């Protein structure tokens, strides 16, 4: 130790691929190791797209991070020619006192973000695709849209390689150790030394991080694509990314959200922790109840979108106890940092989290406001 590498990144997924890129861009000698291919369809970024939005209701400190995230998504797009970020606007719908509408208004007022409120009548006129209960209103955020998530991971990984990073794929990391000088990472077929280690193994963090006091719950999540009865109503350009908080509307729970039409159909999903399972027990297998989860919000809110379910995919959330990410130095060593617990809303931050992880590893600190995401909140 420390060996030929300045840093090893374990898990070249959403956060890890961006970390490899930012490290390599700063001239570090990097080895990225992933147990699967890069990209793959068995991690937490599968299913083509992820929502990005700026009026973040989850915690006010996410907004400054998001401003950086937007800038860095644009930057990697310009550097590589890949159009990863698509601004379609995000239309939030719900009752005025519901969590989503209240949160969006609070975030837009606190951070002076562009966001317009639509009355029930204005909503019906501007977006006749939706059939909403009396009393539901809207908030339209023009900066919102979606990211091409699988392409983004591939783009960051390839850009890192062009900058000199080495990637080892289909090579599970089994263990790691650290001494006063650096780290050793043991894989299925060998071992690798470096000065610094970044751990971001997504749904598999529970085993590799050795943090028994940090509960992480992996849940099975479902994504669906339908062929709408009237596809012309849902085309990009006129139909935005949408988000409905049904709180108070009968038996529906969670948040339903979806995207404009793509070649695969109209994509939608439910943001609500699914069934808790071990990550390796979550497979591609789908069930009739999955289809029902996809069709239910269409019946209720988007009747013209009802049609044949073309595809169902399965994905994994890694939920922290409070729904916030965890990013910090590892308590066992100054040489090790980690990021986990992205709780079903982390992808949009991957561009900035990669940069933060690179700063933590190379500088031992970051200027970005991540204190609310640190491990110390678990010791209170």
Ligand X SMILES: Cc1cc2nc3c(=O)[nH]c(=O)nc-3n(C[C@H](O)[C@H](O)[C@H](O)COP(=O)(O)OP(=O)(O)OC[C@H]3O[C@@H](n4cnc5c(N)ncnc54)[C@H](O)[C@@H]3O)c2cc1C
Q: Which residues bind ligand X (CB under 6 A)?
A: 10-16, 33-36, 43-45, 47, 50-51, 172-173, 200-204, 208, 221, 223, 269, 315-317, 342, 344-348
Q: How far is the CB of 121 from ligand X (least distance, A)?
A: 29
Q: Tell me whether residue 24 or residue 69 sits nearer to ligand X (CB atom).
A: 69
Q: Are the beta carbons of 62 and 103 closer than 8 angstroms?
A: no
Q: Tell me whether residue 62 or residue 95 sits nearer to ligand X (CB atom).
A: 62
Chain-centre distance for alpha carbon 89: 18
Sign of the alpha-carbon torsion through 257, 219, 368, 59: positive
Structure tokens at 144: 């919102």
Bridge partner residues of 51 (DSSP): 146
Q: Tell me whether residue 41 or residue 303 sits nearer to ligand X (CB atom).
A: 41
Q: How far is the CB of 361 from ligand X (least distance, A)?
A: 15
Q: How far is the CB of 369 from ligand X (least distance, A)?
A: 18
Q: How far is the CB of 122 from ligand X (least distance, A)?
A: 26
Non-local (6+) Cβ contacts of 217 within 8 A are 273, 276, 318, 319
Q: How far is the CB of 229 from ligand X (least distance, A)?
A: 25
User: Whole-angstrom Cα distance, residue 299 to residue 242?
Assistant: 16
If you count them, how many residues does the chain have?
A: 380
Burial of 379 (0-12, 13-18, 19+ CB in 10 A): exposed
DSSP state of 262: B
**In 69-112, beta strands by DSSP E:** 85-87, 90-94
**Is the bond preceding residue 119 a cis peptide, omega within 30 degrees?**
no
Q: Tell me whether residue 194 or residue 248 sits nearer to ligand X (CB atom).
A: 194
Q: How far is the CB of 332 from ligand X (least distance, A)?
A: 17
Q: Are the beta carbons of 34 and 139 closer than 8 angstroms?
A: no
Q: Tell me whether residue 43 or residue 108 sits nearer to ligand X (CB atom).
A: 43
Q: Tell me whether residue 75 or residue 97 sits nearer to ligand X (CB atom).
A: 75
Q: How far is the CB of 219 from ligand X (least distance, A)?
A: 9
Closest CA to 108 of 72, 142, 81: 142
Q: Tell me whether residue 44 or residue 108 sits nearer to ligand X (CB atom).
A: 44
Report the residue closest to ligand X, judged by CB.
Answer: 13
């Amino acid at each position: 130790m420390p060996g030929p590498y300045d840093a090893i990144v374990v898990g070249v997924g959403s956060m890890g691929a961006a970390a490899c890129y930012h490290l390599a861009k700063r001239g570090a000698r990097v080895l990225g190791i992933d147990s699967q291919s890069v990209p793959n369809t068995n991690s937490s970024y599968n299913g083509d797209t992820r929502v990005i939005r700026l009026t973040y209701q989850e915690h006010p400190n996410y907004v400054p991070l998001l401003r950086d995230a937007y800038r860095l998504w644009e930057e990697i797009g310009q550097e590589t020619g890949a159009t990863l970020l698509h601004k379609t606007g995000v239309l939030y719908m719900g009752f005025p006192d519901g969590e989503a509408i209240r949160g969006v208004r609070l975030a837009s007022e606190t951070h002076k973000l562009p966001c317009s409120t639509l009355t029930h009548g204005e909503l019906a006129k501007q977006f006749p695709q939706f059939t909403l209960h009396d009393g539901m209103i809207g908030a339209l955020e023009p900066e919102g849209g979606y990211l091409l998530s699988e392409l983004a991971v591939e783009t960051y990984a390839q850009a890192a390689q062009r900058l000199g990073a080495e990637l080892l794929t289909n090579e599970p990391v089994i263990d790691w150790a650290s001494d006063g000088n650096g780290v050793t990472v043991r894989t299925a077929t060998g071992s690798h030394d470096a000065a610094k280690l970044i751990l971001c193994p997504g749904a598999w963090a529970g085993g590799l991080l050795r943090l028994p006091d940090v509960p992480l719950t992996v849940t099975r999540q479902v994504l669906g694509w339908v062929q709408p009865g009237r596809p012309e109503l849902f085309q990009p350009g006129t139909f935005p990314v949408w988000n409905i908080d049904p709180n108070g509307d009968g038996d529906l729970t969670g948040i339903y959200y979806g995207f404009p039409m793509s070649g695969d159909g109209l994509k939608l999903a439910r943001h609500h922790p699914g069934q808790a399972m071990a990550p390796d027990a979550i497979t591609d297998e789908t069930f009739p109840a999955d289809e029902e989860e996809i069709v239910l919000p269409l019946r209720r809110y988007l009747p013209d979108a009802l049609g044949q379910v073309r595809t169902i995919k399965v994905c994994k959330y890694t939920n922290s106890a409070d729904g916030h990410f965890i990013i910090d130095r590892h308590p066992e060593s100054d040489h090790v940092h980690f990021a986990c617990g992205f709780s079903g809303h982390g992808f949009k931050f991957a561009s900035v989290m990669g940069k933060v992880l690179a700063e933590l590893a190379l500088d031992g600190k970051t200027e970005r406001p991540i204190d609310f995401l640190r491990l110390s909140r678990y010791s209170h």
